[in-house]
């Protein structure tokens, strides 16, 4: 009785403190990650003005995460996505998606909108939202490997029955990858085209080349334009998609060699490509872009290296900078999974890198005029420890990372 009163008081006190400090503008943003436990939860952290993170709370999605499938449970990018003041989360093992409303003034306060919605297939792993915010599309990676789209409105998500494309991957539930699974999907800036990166078998003899599936989404019916072998190099496992600033091109990571640069034309053809070989790379899977420093960052899961690079938006020529090794406190490679840039101001970005090996988030400061390619670590945020101490349990897999910057206070 006494204990519960005290903890209730403490809890109320803590949330008041956070509320009060928030209005005093100590906090600039919120960071969300997705625990992949069967009782899946979004782990919410607040970001200080100096980029450092502090655990706030967790909220269950009501769905199932990928489960104990090693450090890279999803083998995809964009399983957790912020679009405007909406947060989309995939419940991979229960074939659903969850939608949350983010309070733009107190972004650590999120509220679920409606119930979880069937993903239109089995085992969804990536989600994208159209630039006009009317449509969300998902890639399903399991036995029903469909690309499906949903209309978005205030009451939630509604499946668009006419939009359904089978990737034909002949997968199981859960899928066995990384080969033959979808990796990511994205809309072009004009919202006319949806494209999906799909990993091939990784063996030219066995067929199923890596590819990019392209859809004309100006109507609600599928108009499937083309299937293109993505990489000019040894490629074949196209992974995350990051738009290249001031161009119609995209940086597409490829764990077999580094990354590729693609340009997608209005007619759905791919007009340009080049491969960026990252020396010594083992599994370059994720990528992010910092507008303040005009740097791209690729994330190598196996070697646990973050590689900064620049890309000339006219010539699309890439210049690599020395990689940054992320090791755990025991000296092991960290197993990097997801990364996002938080754009705090015209003068300051931060890079958040999720480290599955020790359930931390490494926070790097990216100030304007910073030294080319250098990564300045400002915090090793012990996310797993913080969540475990609340009585939740993170297994080996936290995957999915998203940020929201407060609009005003």
Ligand X SMILES: *[C@@H]1O[C@H](CO)[C@@H](O)[C@H](O)[C@H]1NC(C)=O
Residues engaged in binding ligand X (CB under 6 A): 48, 50, 52, 114-115, 151, 153-155, 158, 170, 172, 203, 205-206, 228, 232, 270, 273, 303, 312, 314-315, 325, 359, 378, 384-385, 388, 393-395
Return d(Cα 387, Cα 375) in angstroms, integer: 27
Q: Identify the three-state secondary structure at position 342.
A: strand
In terms of Cα–Cα distance, which of 72, 79, 75, 100 is closest to 34? 79
Supply the minimum distance, in Å, between the C-beta of residue 173 and ligand X: 11
Q: Give me the least distance between CB of 204 and ligand X, in Å please.
A: 7
CA separation (Å) from 367 to 24, 97, 347, 364?
Answer: 23, 35, 6, 10
Q: Which residue has the tokens 């509220």?
A: 111
Least separation, in Å, of the C-beta of 383 and ligand X?
8
Q: Which is nearer to ligand X, 103 or 376 (CB)?
A: 376
Number of Cα atoms under 13 Å in the Cβ half of residue 164 = 9
Note whether 232 and 274 are within 8 A (CB).
yes
When the beta carbons of 184 and 260 are compared against ligand X, the nearer one is 260
By beta-carbon proximity to ligand X, the closer residue of 368 and 393 is 393
Phi then psi for residue 93, to 5 deg, are -75, -10
Least Å distance, CB 70 to ligand X, is 13
Q: Between the CA of residue 173 and those of 165, 169, 298, 335, what are the distances in Å? A: 18, 12, 29, 24
Comparison of 15 and 226: residue with beta carbon closer to ligand X: 226
Nearer to ligand X, 7 or 151 (CB): 151
Cβ 108 to ligand X shortest distance, Å: 15
CB of 205 to ligand X, least distance (A): 4
Closest distance of CB 402 from ligand X, Å: 21
- Min CB(228)–ligand X separation in Å: 5
User: Cα 194 from chain centroid?
Assistant: 17
Indicate the residue among 190 and 206 with the shorter CB distance to ligand X: 206
Looking at the chain, the number of H-run helices and the number of E-run strands are 2, 30
CB of 384 vs ligand X, minimal distance in Å:
3
Minimum CB distance to ligand X smaller for 378 or for 405: 378
- Which is closer to ligand X, CB of 9 or CB of 319? 319
Instruction: Pick between residue 223 and residue 313 the one whose CB is nearest to ligand X.
Output: 313
Between 8 and 280, whose beta carbon lies closer to ligand X?
280
Among 24, 30, 48, 22, residue whose Cα is nearest residue 348: 48
Quick one: 318 exposed, middle or buried, by C-beta within 10 A (0-12, 13-18, 19+)?
A: buried
Which secondary structure element, helix H or strand E, spans residue 18, and what is its range? Answer: helix 2-23
Q: How many CA atoms lie within 13 A of 265 on its CB side?
A: 8
- Rounded to whole angstroms, how far apart are CA atoms 81 and 77? 10
The distance of closest approach from Cβ of residue 201 to ligand X in the complex, given in angstroms and rounded to an integer, is 8
Task: Name the E strands within 204-335.
Answer: 211-216, 224-229, 241-243, 249-254, 258-264, 270-277, 284-290, 295-300, 305-311, 318-320, 324-325
Q: Give the ranges where 281-405 is alpha helix by DSSP (H).
A: 383-389
């Amino acid at each position: 009785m006494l204990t519960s009163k005290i903890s209730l008081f403490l809890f109320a006190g803590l949330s008041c403190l956070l509320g009060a400090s928030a209005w005093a503008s100590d906090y600039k943003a919120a960071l969300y990650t997705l625990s992949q436990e069967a009782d899946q939860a979004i782990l919410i952290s607040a970001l200080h003005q100096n980029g450092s993170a502090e655990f706030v709370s967790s909220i269950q999605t009501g769905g199932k995460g990928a489960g104990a499938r090693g450090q890279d449970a999803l083998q995809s990018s964009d399983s957790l996505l912020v679009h405007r003041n909406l947060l989309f989360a995939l419940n991979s093992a229960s074939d659903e998606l969850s939608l949350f409303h983010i309070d733009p003034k107190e972004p650590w306060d999120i509220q679920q909108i409606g119930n979880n919605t069937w993903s239109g297939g089995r085992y969804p792993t990536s989600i994208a939202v159209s630039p006009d915010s009317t449509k969300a599309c998902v890639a399903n990676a399991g036995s029903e490997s469909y690309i499906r789209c949903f209309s978005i409105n205030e009451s939630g998500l509604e499946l668009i029955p006419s939009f359904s494309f089978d990737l034909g991957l002949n997968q199981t539930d859960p899928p066995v990858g990384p080969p033959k699974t979808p990796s990511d999907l994205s809309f072009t800036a004009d919202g006319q085209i949806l494209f999906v990166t799909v990993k091939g078998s990784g063996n030219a003899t066995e067929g199923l080349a890596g590819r990019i599936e392209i859809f004309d989404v100006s109507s609600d019916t599928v108009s499937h334009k083309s299937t293109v072998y993505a990489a000019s190099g040894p490629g074949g496992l196209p992974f995350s998609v990051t738009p290249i600033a001031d161009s119609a091109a995209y940086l597409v990571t490829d764990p077999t060699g580094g990354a590729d640069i693609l340009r997608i034309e209005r007619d759905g053809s791919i007009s340009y490509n080049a491969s960026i070989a990252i020396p010594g790379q083992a599994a370059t899977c994720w990528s992010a872009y910092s507008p303040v420093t005009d740097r791209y960052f690729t994330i190598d899961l196996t070697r646990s290296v973050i590689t900064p690079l620049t890309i000339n938006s006219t010539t699309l020529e890439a210049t690599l900078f020395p990689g940054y090794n992320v090791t755990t406190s025991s000296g092991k490679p960290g197993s990097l999974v997801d990364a996002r840039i938080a754009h705090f101001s015209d003068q300051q970005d931060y890079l958040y890198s999720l480290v599955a090996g020790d359930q931390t988030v490494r926070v790097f400061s990216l100030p304007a005029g910073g030294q080319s390619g250098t990564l300045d670590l400002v915090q090793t945020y012990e996310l797993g420890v913080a969540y475990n101490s609340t009585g939740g349990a993170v297994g080996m897999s936290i995957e999915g990372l998203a940020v929201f910057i407060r609009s005003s206070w």
